[in-house]
Structure 1
């Protein structure tokens, strides 16, 4: 498997020209920036291929116009107040709020007051992976119908998800170097975005999907997962290999296995990790390295899942 390069970028400046050049190069070549006073901007961003997470703080009052962003940009105000305008009324967000900074390909203006904001930038292809249906029934580009979360419980879900990805995945170089971990994290963020922010993604299975949710579909899907468990595959890839829609393969696993395709894939990968632990030389390998190789970013979660399945902690298997 090819590793996805995870790159960290730091920026700290009081020069308005340098700040504008940095933000334009990082987010939008046509970005407009206006400030009524001098200010300082600090920016810490980790790029992980299909997504990026950044923490940025500034000390002034900035008006920012964005027009050509291709991805979905989601914000979490930590201490700042942000006013967002796009062909309508002003939407105001304060400390603790989560919101859509930009919708795909939709110009907007943001007034950013002093303070800190966390940003998550998602590749649209990941959203489509998570929400796609069969090509003949694909509803087109996903539209988000509101800037804020559906409710506060979902807002907490978004904050929890980004914290996990930032602290457990991206802050651990040995973990973040694994393609399966990065792919899982990207889809986790995409699934959370689709769950938290109202949108038009297709969710209900059709009559054709119910017909296709057969044991034959299940066998084709499992065979593909067994063959490619070491690859960064998505539920959409599994459905395509089985020759049915995503909804059909999800329904097949729920109907015949009482689980989801990705949960079943995690079982396969757990079994592969178990095999590697049995074969490994404890002087050369560690539990964490084997777990992350198979897509498990959190050592504690992997240990708990392994113990529940095999009756012993993974370290005991490694040193047996």
Structure 2
């Protein structure tokens, strides 16, 4: 299987080449002022379809004006000091600080001092998948009401989340080739962003949600998950299949099974991985390949979860 993950490196001292590269890579119009005729930009970006992680470092004092990016862009300063202006507000940050560059689609300006920054570019459709409530009360495009994290602890959570995806998911060629793994990683980033940055996503269940959270909803949801566990389905897909809102299906699983739809789906996939391990040829198949096939990117986490469910490590099942 061809991996959907593509890594691209770039390095230049030519201002015109740098301008064209950034405009093309981030699909936007921009203006760059400052520096000299030989400042240097180094950029490494890992594209994974619904999201991308990038690290960029440069050697000048730059003023960059961006007309807007149709994605959620989360920035973490690694060594640089920056000043970002948007919506008539100015935000200054230094090493370790996390912030949104702007609300999606809106222009912003950045004064970027020499140093390195880390960027996450997240497809807005993934945010909608994670935050979707009921069709008749969706808030439209989610609006972030603050471009800074709600707390310092949440900013650290963003760092932890991106490091896990970068170090565990994207560096594993077997796992990163699996659509289930990439879809899970994208939704992990979206859930983290919606938790960390204040926003207008609807979260409270309605009276109708509570009324729809019955056993019939549960049966429809489970039937859909059983049939489509090998596909990159979302909680919103499960709710649509059950013909109720996302909040209703979440309430149904919590009320009747004391779990969440996605946790139940992970258990189905764990059971499918167990079935594959039992039938596998230990001379041809590996635990990592089977785990990745069912959406488990971390070998250690899969092993721990498998051992908790089946009482033996997965390798023992494979070799039996």
The aligned counterpart of 2:75 is 75
The aligned counterpart of 2:34 is 35
CA distance in 1, matches of 2:109, 2:3: 33
The aligned counterpart of 2:138 is 138
Pairing of 1:119-198 with structure 2 (within 5 A): 119-198=119-198
Equivalent residues, number: 319
The aligned counterpart of 1:295 is 295
Deviates more, 1:4-13 or 1:244-253: 4-13
Q: Deviations over 1:14-59 (max 9, x none)?
A: 1111100100100133111112324111001000000000011111
Cα RMSD for the two superposed structures:
1.0
Offset of 1:68 from its aligned partner? 3.3
TM-score with structure 2 length normalisation? 0.98
Q: 1:144 to 1:4 in 2, by over 3 A?
A: farther
Q: Deviations over 1:117-154 (max 9, x none)?
A: 11000000000000011211212110001111000111
Offset of 1:63 from its aligned partner? 1.0
Offset of 1:89 from its aligned partner? 2.9
User: Matched residue of 1:276: which SS?
Assistant: helix
The runs of 4+ residues in structure 1 deviating greater than 4 Å are none
Pairing of 1:201-212 with structure 2 (within 5 A): 201-212=201-212
TM-score with structure 1 length normalisation? 0.98
CA distance in 2, matches of 1:319, 1:55: 41
Q: Structure 1: 5+ residue runs without aligned partners?
A: none
Kept in 2: contact 1:7–1:48 (CA 8 A): yes
The aligned counterpart of 1:226 is 226
Deviates more, 1:58-67 or 1:34-43: 34-43
The aligned counterpart of 1:84 is 84
The aligned counterpart of 1:15 is 14
CA distance in 2, matches of 1:227, 1:213: 21
Kept in 2: contact 1:250–1:261 (CA 8 A): yes
User: Matched residue of 1:118: which SS?
Assistant: strand
